[in-house]
Amino acid sequence: MSQYVVLSAILFTIGCVGVLTRRNAIVVFMCVELMLNASNLAFVAFARQHGNLDGQITAFFVMVVAAAEVVIGLAIIMTIFRTRRSASVDDASLLKY
Amino acid sequence: MNLLSHSVLLSAEGGTHIPVVAPDTGAGGVFDLLWLVIALPLLGAVVLLAVAPLLQGSLKASADKHGHLVGTAAALASFVLSLVLFVALLGRDAESRQVGQHLWTWFETGSLSVGMDLLYDQLAALFLLLITGVGSLIHVYAIGYMEHDPRRRRFFGYLNLFVAAMLTLILSANFVGLFLGWEGVGLASYLLIGFWQHKHSAAAAAKKAFVINRVGDIGLSLAIALMFATFGTTDFGGVSELTGGADQGTLNALGLLLLLGACGKSAQVPLQAWLLDAMEGPTPVSALIHAATMVTAGVYLVVRSNFVFELAPVAQTAVVVVATVTLLWGAIIGCAKDDIKKALAGSTMSQIGYMMLAAGLGPVGYPFAIFHLLTHGFFKANMFLGAGSVMHGMDDDVDMRHYGALNKAMPVTFLTFAMGYLAIIGFPGFSGFWSKDRIIESALADNLLVGVLAMLGAGITGFYMTRLMLMTFFTPGPDGKGRWGKDVHPHESPKVMTVPLMVLAALSVLGGVLLVGDWIVTWLEPVTGTAEHHEPPLPAIVITLLITLVVATGVAAAWFLVGRREVSREAPADVSFATRAARADLYGDAINDAVVVGPGASLVGGLTTFDRVGVDGTIEGGSAAMGGLSRTLRRLQNGFVRSYALSLLAGALLVVLALLAVNLG
Amino acid sequence: MILTILILLPLVGALVTVFAPGALARLVGIAFAGATLLAGIVAATQYDVDGGMQLTETHAWIESLGVHYALGVDGLGILMVLLTVVLVPIVLLAGWRESEAEGNSGAKAFFAWTLALEAMSLAVFTATDVLLFYVVFEATLIPAYFLIGGFGRSGRGRAATKFLIYQLGGGLVMLASVIGLYVVSANTGNPSFLISDLAAIDIDPITQRWLFLGFFIAFAIKAPMFPVHTWLADTTEKATPGTSVLLVCILDKIGTFGMLRFCLGLLPEASQWATPVVVVLALISIIYGALVAIGQDDVLRLIGLTSLSHFGFIVLGIFVFSPTGSSGAILYMVNHGIATALMFLVAGYLIQRTGTASIREMGGVEKTAPVLAGFFLVAGLAACGLPGLSPFVSELMVIVAAFDHHWLVGSVAVLAIVLAAFYALWMYQRTMTGPGREGMAPVADLDRREVGIVAPLLLALVLFGFFPMPLLDVINPFVHDSLAGVGIGQEGGHQ
């Protein structure tokens, strides 16, 4: 049991560090997905431990949301890449004070 | 209904009896028309001021042209009705001469109820005749005086408004109704002083009069509040019944508050400063409002509230002190003024001082206060109108130094004015002689110092009136003619102005008739009560002789100082301190400026700044600080997604730590 | 039903006006305002002066929280309703052309927002559920914000923001107390926001004080009172006179209305506990407002500040806890509405004609415009409480009650009659009298349409000056009931 949770934590941390350190939007994006999946793993693991389906259902929700997010997110990244010729998240910093 | 109202008498210490007001509201007959006395001039005012401006075209033109007739007719009708009522009152028993009329309930709430009630008694009857009688004469006079004024209709509307308000003041059966009339006359006075409001001085004088009167109104308002608090009513009836049982401190406070109100309206020191400025108004206004009627309302108030003052010795003493100071104050001012109207105004102030003095003496003095009020109403109105007639002939010049030797140019004005003059200085036989003589006599009996000062005042009156008379009608210039300019052609006024003068002159001469057989004393006794007479220190005849002697000295002094010398066209500048002080109204305005106006202006200025900088500044400062903080904080929104992610993580960690701390701690 | 109709009519009117073709918009607007006026009169005829809360309708709204859509009027409510429905058509007529002046948002918007404001105000005055009251209380701010920000002189945007923030701040504090009331009622086991239910609960004194503070701060800002009054001066200065009438004569009444309804009605003990402080604040408002008004140069700002003084009187009357004081205060609310409306509208005419609101730049108007000057003078005299005009009666009642409370309180309050005379007449003197400014075109007098708009207000001033009994007949039973609830009988007046 604890192995699943540890794996989930490791995956989440990797994702987290990736989001914070990488500049490429696509990589950042993948790291976000990694974190989502890490939490999915935890959900499923806990569901199994508790013996009910709540965690499983939530995992499905997360997947659906993640899918929707990918669709929209990739579209945005594509558009930005087309206009700026760059996929770096630091370049897109106009939305500020 | 208590028909035998005057059998109910309250006894104070000594032989003093204070009557309780208990009007008979079921008198019926002509007394049911009491309200009409007020309604007639009020209707005139409404027609002239509210209806006429709404008319169009030729109708409006004719309203402007004939409006004065409506106004005069309203005043005259009111006078006729007053006469009828007076005769009806004479026809009733001496015991039942208090007639009341309940019109409607004005306002009522909880424990407090005020009615629109009228009270017609011996005191009100005399006032009604004075106001409507002299008022009508002045209306007639003003037809001529205001002939060339484009706004004559409006002038008569204001005059009618004044008469209606003054009658309300007199006829009201409670202090709140009295206050309604009190403010009504204040308003009319404001409008009429400022009638020529395109002049800055007139507009300023009007405002000054109103505001100073309002200071007096503080007293009257608080008196009303105090009456409600102590007695639960302001009806004359209710209050007069209950004062006997009230505690003396309250009554003294009440009396002093009423006195403050009276000081404002009657231009008594320290609220005297407005009266001389009020002469900015057209002369008929000065005659009607600022001599004969409105300014004497304070005296009426004191006499009417005798049931308070009789039991409030401190307040009564204050009345005497204020009156004595004022009668000298006004007289001294009158000595130095070259403006004929202002000289007369100083005289008015002084004469009202006499009335107040009498009113402060208690039941002994009340009838003489009213008596002097009536005779003064006649002769002072006469002289003011005479002064107006002079100004009419002199192209509205008011400076007596530009007059002189007018007795030939204006014989009627001169003769009628002379009657008034003889009356005011107290020439034996004339009306003023009888009234002033009795006041000084009573004052001497009460307090020697006050009596002597009052006598001194009579001497000064002789001086300034003679000076005025000489400078105006005698003392020709070097060429034997007057001192007026080349373009001035003095002429007698038209009949419409001189006839009222003649009537008033006749009244000034014959006014003393009211004292025959002590009629006025007996007549007013049911209202004012009785008291034991103190014997004067000297026999009455000696006092009379003394007064006459003092007056004669004053007259002679004026003859030597003014009559026998050349009067210069310009007022000499190198004069004594006393003259300078008197010219400056004894520094009344300077004192007001130093004590009230100056600090007040600083306070207003300071508060206005404080409001903007202090109060609003705190609020705006708070919002500015908030704005500054957010300007700083928004730097966090730097546009780098990864720093957002970092703060997100930090926040999440913080939450987790907090949860852990709570759960483990 | 009549009350719902009363609220819906102007609301629908506002919508219809927005979608009406441009030329017709104003006619549609005034028609709806007229219909509301009629509905108000119908409601008044159905009202029974001794009947307590009536014309009630109650529907559950959020059952789990005990929130109701509950309406009803008592003596206080019906008078405020009548004041509102009477003043709105007058404001619309007065703003007929002005709202289209350059820089303003146009007549359509003015009419629509005014009607919306009317609807919300009527809802405030008739709501008998605390949460409903709170919701519409805040909702009045929306139309008010757009009225201030959309019409008037430059700088109005800032004034509108200031107004909004002040009011929202007050509303927020009040929300805390509203929630507090809910908690109190939920603790009794039967959560309800109905005023009638809440009044029956015996709230412990400490809680009462906290709840009182929340309500009082909100209403003090609304009224306004010293020291939270500065939005008033800025707003009246920048907004059009019509908007100022809506704000000062109707909307501000919500402040004193709320004090009577909530502070006195629900939290009587806390109200008595707070009396000394409130009375002092009211006295400061009275004197301070009048003094600061004297120092103003802007006509509209001056008039706005006079209201600070007058609201001081109203609050004073409410918080001396006597039948005379309360009746006087409520009567004052009505009279102040009439008198100040007249003052604002006439000042508006004056400013339209002279092209300036600065007193210093005016003068001599009376010569060519005597009718305008006459109206202005009467309005000024009403402000200084001249007997014969309606504010006098209420002012006297408040002064008498204050004097009864403590002689010093009455004596300080009475000073206002001198100060008021000074600011009113000094303003009149500087604007209307004198020889007139050089180079200033002669000022045209009021035409018949304009006289027709303001004359009803003047007539009402005179009428209620001599015959205030019709109003007092409505007020007195209400005051009797509400003070009986507090434990003060009719005899409580004097010894």
Taking the Cβ of residue B632 and every Cβ of chain A, the question of whether any pair is shorter than 8 Å is answered with: no
As a whole number of angstroms, the distance between CA A52 and CA C424 comes to 80
Q: Which of the other chains make 3 or more beta carbon contacts under 8 angstroms with chain C?
A: B
Query: Is 90 exceeded by the pLDDT of residue C90?
Result: yes
Query: What is the rounded average pLDDT of the residues C230-257?
Result: 91
Give the helix/strand (H/E) hosting B116. strand B112-120
Who has greater pLDDT, C448 or C103? C448
Reference B434, options B500, B346, B517; nearest CA is: B517
As a whole number of angstroms, the distance between CA B437 and CA B511 comes to 14
Mean pLDDT, each 10-residue run in order, chain B (665 residues): 37 64 81 92 93 83 88 95 93 85 89 89 93 94 90 92 95 94 94 89 91 92 92 90 88 94 92 90 91 92 92 92 93 90 93 94 91 94 93 86 85 92 91 91 90 93 92 81 80 90 93 87 87 77 91 92 79 81 82 85 88 86 90 84 87 93 84
Q: How far is C418 from chain B (nearest CA, A)?
A: 5
Taking the Cβ of residue A1 and every Cβ of chain B, the question of whether any pair is shorter than 8 Å is answered with: no
Give the residue on C whose Cα is nearest the Cα of B105: C469
Contact criterion met (CB < 8 Å) for C475 and B109: yes
Chain A residue numbers with beta carbons less than 8 Å from the beta carbon of B649 are 16, 20
Tokens 């004339």 found at: B430
Interface test with A, best of B642, B643, B656 (most A CBs within 10 A): B642
Q: How far is B604 from chain A (nearest CA, A)?
A: 45
Contact criterion met (CB < 8 Å) for B642 and A20: yes
Query: What is the rounded average pLDDT of the residues C102-116?
Result: 84
Q: Is B547:B437 a contact under the CB 8 Å cutoff?
A: yes
pTM attached to this predicted model: 0.89
Q: Residue B10: what pLDDT?
A: 43
Give the residue on B whose Cα is nearest the Cα of A21: B642
Taking the Cβ of residue B642 and every Cβ of chain A, the question of whether any pair is shorter than 8 Å is answered with: yes
Taking the Cβ of residue C327 and every Cβ of chain B, the question of whether any pair is shorter than 8 Å is answered with: yes
Contact criterion met (CB < 8 Å) for A95 and B646: no
Contact criterion met (CB < 8 Å) for C323 and B110: yes
Main-chain dihedrals φ then ψ at residue B630, nearest 5 degrees: -70, -30
Reference B117, options B241, B229, B250, B21; nearest CA is: B21
C468: left (phi over 0), alpha (psi -120 to 50) or beta: alpha
Residues with Cβ within 8 Å of B556's Cβ and at least 6 positions away in sequence, in order, are none
Q: How far is B600 from chain A (nearest CA, A)?
A: 51
Reference B425, options B253, B559, B232, B275; nearest CA is: B559
Cis upstream peptide for C224 (omega within 30°): yes
Q: Is B281:B192 a contact under the CB 8 Å cutoff?
A: yes
Strands B99-109 and C54-62: unpaired
Contact criterion met (CB < 8 Å) for B641 and A89: yes
Q: Residue C488: what pLDDT?
A: 64
Chain B residue numbers with beta carbons less than 8 Å from the beta carbon of A94 are 639
Contact criterion met (CB < 8 Å) for B642 and A92: no
Q: Residue B109: what pLDDT?
A: 86
Contact criterion met (CB < 8 Å) for C400 and B229: yes
Taking the Cβ of residue B641 and every Cβ of chain A, the question of whether any pair is shorter than 8 Å is answered with: yes
Mean pLDDT over the full length of chain A: 89
Contact criterion met (CB < 8 Å) for B611 and C292: yes
Cα three-residue angle B39-B112-B167, rounded to 5 degrees? 20
As a whole number of angstroms, the distance between CA C259 and CA B140 comes to 56
Q: Residue B2: what pLDDT?
A: 38
Radius of gyration of chain B (CA): 31
Chain A residue numbers with beta carbons less than 8 Å from the beta carbon of B632 are none
Q: How far is B656 from chain A (nearest CA, A)?
A: 15
Taking the Cβ of residue B143 and every Cβ of chain C, the question of whether any pair is shorter than 8 Å is answered with: no
As a whole number of angstroms, the distance between CA C86 and CA C76 comes to 16
Taking the Cβ of residue B176 and every Cβ of chain C, the question of whether any pair is shorter than 8 Å is answered with: yes
Tokens 């998240």 found at: A89
The percent of residues above 70 in pLDDT, for chain C, comes to 97
Residues with Cβ within 8 Å of B209's Cβ and at least 6 positions away in sequence, in order, are B186, B189, B190, B193, B274, B275, B277, B278
Q: Do chains A and C touch (3 or more CB pairs under 8 A)?
A: no
Name the residue among B637, B640, B646 with its Cβ closest to that of A97.
B637
Q: Is B436:B527 a contact under the CB 8 Å cutoff?
A: no
Chain C residue numbers with beta carbons less than 8 Å from the beta carbon of B194 are 433
Give the residue on B whose Cα is nearest the Cα of C385: B183
**C276: its two tokens:** 């000394």
Q: Residue B15: what pLDDT?
A: 61
Q: Residue B185: what pLDDT?
A: 94
Residues with Cβ within 8 Å of B148's Cβ and at least 6 positions away in sequence, in order, are none
Q: Residue B210: what pLDDT?
A: 92
